[in-house]
Amino acid sequence: MPDITLINVVSSSSKPQTPLGILYLAGTLEKYNFDVDVIDYQYIFYPSSH
């Protein structure tokens, strides 16, 4: 079970963008031995090109 879960909510832009801030924060927390989950909801609602 993770120590913390970071969530990126759906953005208002027309195309999903990589959540660099959350990923940077997750990397820093992991450096200090925290177990981190990152959930990016914008990809759940963005239609696939397939």
pLDDT per residue as tens digits for the range 12-48? 666 778 889 999 999 999 999 999 999 988 777 655 5
Rounded to whole angstroms, the Cα distance separating 44 from 48 reads: 9
- Helix%, strand%, coil% for the chain, nearest 5: 30, 20, 50
Q: What is the pLDDT of residue 17?
A: 80
Closest CA to 24 of 38, 13, 10, 35: 38
CB 41 within 8 A of CB 7: yes
Q: What is the 8-class DSSP label of residue 37?
A: E
